[in-house]
Amino acid sequence: MSEEFSRANGRTLLSYTPDLRLFDATIRDGGLMNDFYFEDDFVKALYKANVKAGVDYMEFGYRASKDMFDPEKFGKWKFTSDEDIRAIVGDNDTDLKISIMADAGRTDYKDDIRKKDESPVDIIRVATYIHTIPTAIAMVEDAHEKGYETSVNIMAISKSSGVEIESALELLGQSPVDILYLVDSYGSLYPEQVRRLCDRFLECAEKYGKKVGFHAHNNQQLAFANTTEAIIKGVCYVDGTVSSLGRGAGNCPLELLLGFLKNPKYRIDPILSFIEKEMIPLKESGLKWGYDIPYVLTGILNQHPRTAIQFQKEDRKDYRQFYIDLMDNF
């Protein structure tokens, strides 16, 4: 089809919006599947591929509290020190910006996050549930004062009521946060729900001068479709992970986004090379993630994927029984 398709905000399939930002979350979301034990060579290869592909941000991991999580039990990307990042990126003399994620209530942010001019990190993304928004805002204020770009990522949005979302957005609008991220943690949202939620987020963003981001999960093979719909709506930050690597069914494949986006700065071929050289061996090493029936079922039922992850770990195949058990815990 050579013709262009009209869209409410003037975006067409062949146009692009220069303010769209592509966010690679492979190490951070993927780390949830291997307890953050990625080799430096893997992370460095991904960093180089992202730079070549024109990806705008790369998230290296969480900065979790070492008081709450035992460094003996997790790889370093659970804690993602500035030094660990420097070992990969040096002075990061590139256009790629560097992100870390901090969970509301599980980060010693006052001590563990230095001032931006002493750190290779560019943006702090605070992950929060609706009920921890006040904590998230305190963290954002701290990061903002230290000089970072900030984002608040509202997880499990599909479990929240319209009233809660309105109230959370109003609080965040009045905070110094730069980006409001909509997170479909359970991969349960259909495109029309994403469109509706984007409208709400965008309305608040416009009122308070914020940007909106979207992070999808692929339980129902809707991560890419939901992300493109969010882009059409006007969302400016979108997350992807290479080969969908991420919790459970994984995320929106970065390679599909690179195939869709028309900004000439983006290139898919460095990510194709990374997949053949790094992701295939990782998969062959036995790490299991990605679209499969158990994740479909938790997605349909709007549940956390933990039961499905356990089902996959046990190498079970009794999908029907699993479904019956899930319905029992609805």
By CB under 8 A, is residue 16 in contact with a copy of itself?
A: no
The reply to whether 296 sits near a copy of itself by the rule CB under 8 A is yes
- Give the x/- contact pattern for a copy of itself in 224-263, rule: CB under 8 A: xxx-xx--x--------------------x-xx--xx---
Q: How far is the CB of 302 from a copy of itself (least distance, A)?
A: 8
Strand positions, DSSP E, the chain: 21-24, 57-62, 97-103, 123-128, 149-154, 179-183, 211-215, 237-240
Structure token digits, residue 327: 């319905």
Tell me if 305 contacts a copy of itself by CB under 8 A: no
Binding of a copy of itself by 220 (CB under 8 A): yes
The answer for 164, left when phi > 0, alpha when psi is -120 to 50, beta otherwise, is: alpha
Q: Is there binding between residue 269 and a copy of itself (CB under 8 A)? A: yes
Which amino acid belongs to residue 18?
P
- Minimum CB distance to a copy of itself smaller for 58 or for 232: 232
Cβ-count burial 47-63 (b if 16+ within 10 Å, e if not): bbbbbbbbbbbbbbbbb
130 lines the binding site for a copy of itself (CB under 8 A)? no
Q: What distance in Å separates the CA atoms of residue 328 and residue 34, rounded to the nearest whole number?
A: 29
Q: What are phi and psi of 169, to 5 degrees?
A: -65, -40
Tell which positions 147-186 bind a copy of itself, by CB under 8 A.
Answer: 158, 161-162
Between CA 28 and CA 36, with CA 31 as vertex, the angle to 5 degrees is 115
Name the residues that contact a copy of itself, by CB under 8 A: 1-3, 5, 7, 13, 158, 161-162, 189-193, 196, 218, 220-226, 228-229, 232, 253, 255-256, 259-260, 268-269, 272-273, 275-276, 280, 291, 293, 296-297, 300, 317-320, 323-324
